[in-house]
Each structure stands twice: as C-alpha cells, then as structure tokens.
C-alpha cells in the first residue's frame, strides 16, 4: 500500500472540520448544551481511541457526561478480542433501549472493533433497531460527517467499509487524567495469529511518521505528563512502510532526547520482532521503564506453531535471558492463553515450566475464546470448559507462588513512585513503580501527579505497601 493511501489527506480532514462546524452550529441552536457519553471497553488502544472520540464530540459542541439517561449521544467503543467482551456490549445495547424509549431523540452509536465485523453490523441492523450509527475503528475519524448524516437525514447509518485503516493526524483529544498519557505510534496488525480477530478489524500495519510522534510526545512532556505509553498492536514492527529508515529502537532513542522528568512504557511487544537492539536501548535509556511486557501465549512449541506466532520457546528464552543480563532488575509480564484448541496436558505443562523459568512479575491470563473468522475457530477443540478452567486455576496458583514472594522481598527498598490516585485504604495514595507494580502508602492528595520516594514496608499479595521516605 502506498504511503499516500495510508494517510488521511488534508482535504479529507478539512471536510470533517466543516462537518464539525455544522454540528456545532446545530448544537449552539439548542436550548441547552447537549451531552455526550463515550463508554470504552477493551485494551489501551481502545482507551486512546475513546479519547479521540471525546475530543471530536467536544469540538462539535457536546459536553461530556457519564449519565446515560441525560446523554444526547452515547458511543459504545467496543472490543472484539473475546466473546465475553462482545456479550457485555450486547447486554449494554439491550439496556440502552430503555434510555432511548425515555429519551427518543437520543442517538446511540456502536463503534470500535466489534462494529467493524459485518456479522455484528448485520445483527445490530436487524435486532437492535434503537442503534442509529455503527462505525468501525477504520472510520472513526469520519465521526462528524456520519453523526451529521444521522441528524439531518433522520436515518440509521452503517460505516464498516474496510479501508485497511488510515492514519488521521491532528485529531482533537480529551485525555483522561493529567499523569499518564497514551500515544499511538502505529495501527493495525500483519501477524494473523490464528486465534485473533484484530487484523481483520483494524487492518494492516501502518506507522506514524517519527516527526509527528515526536511533536505529540514533546507536547505531553511540556504539559506535565509523567508517564507516556506508546501503543501499537506490535510496536516492535514500527517503521515498516515508512520512507525514513527507522525502527522501534530508533524511535525510542529519538523520544528520549526530549528533556524532562518522565518515563516511557510501550505495548504490545511481539516476541518475533523483539530484538537485542531493543534490549540494549532499554538498558541505555533512563527514561525507559525497566519492565517488559512480552506476550508468550503458550510454552509449547507445538501450540505456538498452531497459533502462528513465528517463534519458539528457545528463541523467547534467549531474549528473556539477554534482557536479564543487560538490564539490572528487569521485570517481565506476559499474556497466556489457556485451552487453545488441541492443547494437551503435555502442552499445558510446558507453559507451567516456562512460567517457572521466566519468573514473571505479572501475568494476564485468558481461557481461549473462539472468534468467528479466525483460523483457530475451525480447529477441533475436544477439551471441556471445566478442564480449561481447572488448568487456569493451576496456572494462577503457580504464578502467585512465584510472584508474591518476589514482591514481598522488595520490602526495605526505597523506590521512586509516580503517584496516580487515592488508594483503596482511606488516607492513602497509590502509585506505580518502574516495574509496573503498584504501591499504597499514607500521604496527602497534593502529591497526586508527582514523583515520591517511598520506603516499602511490606505487601498484600500483589500490592506493595509503604511509607514516604524522609
């Protein structure tokens, strides 16, 4: 795909600004300021997309609300990665029929990854008649035009055409919170893991220009954000298709030239594209968190091949061991899928063995969820849900037996903490360490948004506890 086909042109963006103006004029004529609600499900990329949706709505003259009954426009920003997420959305859509019955002029929109699937769009069209607008993530930059069409033509609008995703720069953003920020560096995915729907709904990989990323990043640092997370379905493949000869490590080094007191995280990092160059970059740059999220999915080479992951356990461990050698105190987290079709007890035991070898600080675990349209959906799956749940229970117990002592052993250390919010215990705050663990400690709320030195005094399971260091 040529670069000009990837970037939304200035003319197209100007067209959306014109519809934004028209929507604002319509809203200005109302007797009160209209309200909009964006409800986001799913991953960090969805959260970032939701912030853009809120930005566009605000420019159209809407104020933001969390009250479904008062909202004039409701956008459900959805996730399609697992069946459970989709069921939650359908349940939510069903409930919204009651808010619309009480408020007939209310506009209800389904957007995000779920909406990009034709089977979902057809189901909504035929069974959820109160939904006015359906648009996939590849059309979200056209929200002003599509919303204007709903209002002026008084009809339902469905925009799920597959454009393989396009990059629209300089869209407005309403960032939630002033401490942490998300920056999308690329969109889409080329990997086609056999269990995953993402490449079908977000299109092929497209990288933003490094200069555009740098400008957004610099603005966030100057605005006082302390932790900035770089987002992509596979950040390690950043740079492919760009005119500039640049990879992800080069981008990290570029961003680290920005002066300021901040940390950089990134996700998601695909093991097949992770390199020793990346590890060396993390080791060399103080701004980069010494924590690596490296989703392995399974410890069985046979299952990894069935998943179309393009690496072996040996290659994965080589990268992990190199990181442990080069980055003092590095910690790892990972994603694990339990119960992939055809997974045997031997395959599962290989996953447990890998967990013991790596010693992950955190694991994000999921029972396999069949996704229609993927290759894995066609594979025989003889294991029962009860068998998969039992394996999950064994895995979680093993992970706790590894991680909890590692966390408890940190007691006595004095650590730098980014203070984010009030803690669960009254009178406390919580914050995140460089290694992605959370610590809770007594302090005044004036510290929120700042760094603090905290002496760790103990832990409760995966939660560290401490006190301000003198």
* Residue 215: C-alpha distances to residues 107, 211, 221, 348, 360 (Å): 35, 6, 10, 45, 34
Predicted pLDDT of residue 355:
98
pLDDT per position as a tens digit, 280-338: 999 999 999 999 999 999 999 999 999 999 999 999 999 999 999 999 989 999 999 99
CA-CA-CA-CA dihedral for 66, 67, 68, 74, to nearest 10 = -40
Q: Which residues pair with 36 in a beta bridge?
A: 64, 73
Predicted pLDDT of residue 42:
85
CA distance 165 to 163: 5
Predicted pLDDT of residue 1:
46
Burial of 245 (0-12, 13-18, 19+ CB in 10 A): exposed
Buried b (16+ CB within 10 A) or exposed e, 109-141: bbbbbbbbbeebbeebeeebebbbbbbbbbbbb
Contact 365, 336 (CB under 8 A): yes
> What's the distance, Cα to Cα, between the start and end of the chain in Å?
57
Q: Residues in the chain with pLDDT < 70?
A: 1-5, 162-165
DSSP string, 53-114: HHHHHHHTTPEE-S-TTT-SEEEEEE--SSHHHHHHHHHHHHHHHHHHHHSTT-EEEEEETG
Contact 206, 234 (CB under 8 A): no
What tokens were used for 61? 């003259």
Predicted pLDDT of residue 3:
52
3-class secondary structure, 376:
helix
Domains of the chain: 3-159 (3.40.50.12160), 177-281 (3.30.750.210), 290-406 (3.30.750.200), 414-468 (2.40.50.140)
Residue listed under structure tokens 């029962």: 384
CA distance 54 to 36: 8
152 half-sphere exposure, CB direction, 13 A CA radius: 12
Predicted pLDDT of residue 84:
84
3-class secondary structure, 52:
helix
Element (H, E) at 215: helix 210-222
pLDDT per position as a tens digit, 199-246: 888 888 999 999 999 999 999 999 999 999 999 999 999 998 898 999
Predicted pLDDT of residue 6:
79
φ, ψ at 469 (rounded to 5°)? -80, 140
């Amino acid at each position: 795909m040529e670069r000009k086909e990837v970037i939304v042109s200035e003319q197209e963006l100007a067209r959306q600004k014109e519809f934004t103006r028209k929507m604002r004029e319509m809203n200005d004529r109302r007797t009160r300021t209209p309200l909009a609600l964006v409800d986001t499900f799913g991953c960090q990329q969805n959260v970032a997309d939701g912030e853009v949706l809120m930005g566009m709505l605000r420019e159209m003259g809407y104020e933001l609300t969390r009250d479904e009954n008062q909202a004039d426009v409701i956008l459900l920003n959805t996730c399609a990665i697992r069946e459970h997420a989709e069921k939650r959305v359908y349940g939510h859509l069903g409930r919204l029929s009651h808010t619309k019955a009480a408020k007939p002029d209310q506009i209800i929109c389904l957007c995000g990854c779920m909406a990009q699937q034709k089977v979902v769009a057809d189901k909504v069209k035929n069974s959820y008649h109160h939904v006015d607008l359906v648009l996939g993530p590849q059309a979200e930059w056209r929200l002003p035009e599509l919303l204007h069409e709903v209002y002026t033509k008084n009809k339902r609008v469905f925009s799920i055409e597959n454009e393989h995703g396009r990059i629209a720069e300089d869209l407005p953003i309403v960032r939630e919170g002033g401490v942490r920020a998300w920056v999308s560096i690329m969109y889409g995915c080329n990997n086609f893991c056999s269990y995953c729907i993402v490449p079908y709904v977000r299109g092929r990989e497209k990288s933003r220009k490094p200069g555009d990323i740098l400008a957004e990043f610099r603005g966030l640092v100057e605005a006082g954000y302390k932790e900035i997370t770089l987002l992509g379905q596979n950040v390690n493949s950043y740079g492919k298709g760009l005119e500039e000869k640049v990879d992800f490590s080069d981008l990290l080094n570029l961003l680290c030239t920005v002066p300021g007191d901040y940390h950089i995280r990134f996700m998601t990092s695909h093991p097949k594209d992770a390199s020793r160059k990346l590890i060396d970059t993390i080791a060399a740059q103080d701004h980069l968190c010494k924590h690596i999220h490296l989703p392995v999915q399974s410890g069985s080479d046979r299952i990894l091949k069935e998943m179309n992951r393009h690496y072996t356990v040996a290659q994965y461990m080589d990268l992990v061991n190199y990181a442990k050698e080069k980055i003092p105190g590095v910690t790892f987290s990972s994603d694990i899928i339990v119960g992939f079709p055809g997974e045997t007890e031997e395959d599962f035991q290989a996953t447990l063995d890998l967990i013991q070898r790596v010693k992950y600080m955190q694991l994000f675990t999921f029972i396999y969820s069949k996704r229609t349209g993927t290759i894995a959906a066609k594979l025989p799956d003889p294991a029962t849900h009860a068998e998969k749940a039992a394996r999950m229970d064994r895995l979680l117990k093993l992970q706790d037996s590894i991680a909890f002592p590692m966390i408890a052993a940190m007691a006595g250390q004095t650590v730098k903490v980014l203070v984010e919010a009030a803690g669960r215990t009254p009178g406390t705050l919580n914050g995140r360490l460089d290694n992605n663990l959370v610590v809770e400690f007594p302090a005044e709320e004036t510290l929120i948004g700042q760094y603090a030195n905290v002496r760790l005094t103990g832990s409760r399971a995966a939660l560290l506890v401490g006190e301000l260091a003198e």
